């Protein structure tokens, strides 16, 4: 499906939240953008495992513009299993066409290796030369039952509860794969952890869709309680609004 054109004022609105604005900052860590679309009742899908459209076509185009601006796109395996997403980039600057090379590399956080690249939308796009193959981050390379030859598996150190530390993970992804920028799209478990990590997240870009999804929906609400933001700006579209912000470390 093709995208509607990118709204003219979005690039200037987004600029300060994108990796290019931090170019020249010598950091060991990749630039990390946390971005997702939520309803007015802070839900990112209408139920566990239910792929849900929240973004209006013009903010969907914005998401593809954001994908164009990052080296990698990260999701948790809950999202990979629920949505079977493509995670490629369909946006291209005027006069150019989108291609595999302008798509970010998908990164799937999948400690137990539950998600399978075989038969996925990502595999289909890769075969059509319309998307890159994923990096799959697991806990233990030896425990993966089905390894796909076109996917890259990498193990990361984890806590006894099986959790990766986000900063360690981002540093590893930069050193192993050279990712200078990573866009994190979700899902809820990933977002709720990262909202309290100003040491990891450089920018927050949230689309707010003009709808409610109800109490059965998958909620974004950080367990740590209050999270404060700075450098907050709002963009108003036809139906949605978009908030750009930085996480406050104080
Ligand atoms: N509206 C939006 O922008 C988006 C909506 N979604 C929705 O979110 C829902 C999925 O959310 P969740 O179920 O919360 O799944 P999730 O995508 O956050 O994945 C959770 C899984 O990721 C792994 N994981 C997360 N943090 C980890 C850590 N620190 N260490 C090791 N492993 C870790 C674990 O295996 C965990 O079970 C779906 O319904 C999907 O449609 C997902 C992305 C964006
Ligand atoms: N920006 C945005 N708006 C929505 O309404 C959404 N449901 C999502 N979901 C995210 O996009 C992924 C799907 O990507 P493809 O279109 O298949 O490339 C989905 O898995 C979520 O990460 N995002």
Structural contact between residues 33 and 74, judged by C-beta atoms closer than 8 angstroms: no
**Residue ranges lining ligand 1, Cβ < 6 Å:** 36-37, 44-45, 50-52, 54, 75-79, 82-83, 109, 111, 163-164, 185-190, 193, 218
Provide the token pair at 208.
């707010």
Most ligand 1 atoms within 8 A of CB, residue of 79, 84, 86 to mutate: 79
Structural contact between residues 247 and 204, judged by C-beta atoms closer than 8 angstroms: yes
Cβ neighbors of 41 (< 8 A, separation 6 or more) are 212, 213, 214, 215, 217
Q: Is the ipTM of this complex over 0.90?
A: yes
CA of 24 to the centre of ligand 2 (A): 30
pTM listed for this prediction:
0.98
Mean pLDDT for the chain? Answer: 96
**May I ask the CATH class of domain 10-247?**
alpha beta
Provide the token pair at 93.
């600057």
DSSP classification of residue 25: -
Most ligand 2 atoms within 8 A of CB, residue of 33, 36, 207 to mutate: 36
∠ CA 222-223-228 to the nearest 5 degrees?
45
* Of 88, 73, 143, residue with least CA distance to 114: 143
pLDDT for 62-87, tens place per residue?
999 999 999 999 999 999 999 999 99
pLDDT for 7-64, tens place per residue?
999 999 999 999 998 888 888 999 999 999 999 999 999 999 999 999 999 999 999 9
Structural contact between residues 249 and 199, judged by C-beta atoms closer than 8 angstroms: yes
pLDDT for 115-170, tens place per residue?
999 999 999 999 999 999 999 999 999 888 778 999 999 999 999 999 999 999 99
């Amino acid at each position: 499906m093709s995208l509607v054109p990118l709204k003219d004022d979005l690039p200037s609105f987004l600029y300060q939240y994108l990796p290019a604005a931090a170019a020249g900052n010598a950091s060991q860590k990749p630039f990390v953008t946390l971005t997702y679309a939520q309803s007015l009742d802070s839900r990112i899908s209408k139920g566990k495992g239910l792929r849900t459209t929240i973004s209006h076509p013009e903010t969907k185009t914005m998401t593809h513009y954001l994908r164009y601006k990052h080296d990698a796109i990260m999701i948790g395996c809950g999202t990979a299993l629920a949505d079977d997403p493509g995670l490629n980039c369909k946006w291209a600057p005027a006069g150019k066409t989108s291609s595999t090379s302008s798509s970010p590399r998908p990164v799937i956080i999948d400690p137990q290796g539950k998600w399978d690249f075989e038969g996925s939308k990502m595999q289909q796009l890769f075969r059509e030369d319309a998307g890159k193959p994923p990096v799959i981050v697991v806990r233990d390379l030896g425990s993966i039952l089905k390894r796909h030859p076109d996917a890259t598996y990498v193990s990361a150190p984890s806590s006894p509860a099986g959790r990766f530390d986000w900063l360690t993970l981002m540093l590893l992804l930069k050193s192993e794969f050279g990712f200078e920028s990573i866009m994190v799209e979700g899902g809820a478990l990933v977002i709720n952890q990262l909202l309290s990590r100003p040491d990891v997240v450089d920018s927050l870009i949230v689309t707010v869709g003009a709808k409610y999804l109800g109490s059965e929906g998958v909620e974004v609400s950080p367990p740590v309680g209050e999270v404060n933001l700075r450098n907050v700006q709002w963009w108003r579209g036809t139906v949605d609004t978009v908030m750009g912000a930085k996480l406050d470390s104080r």
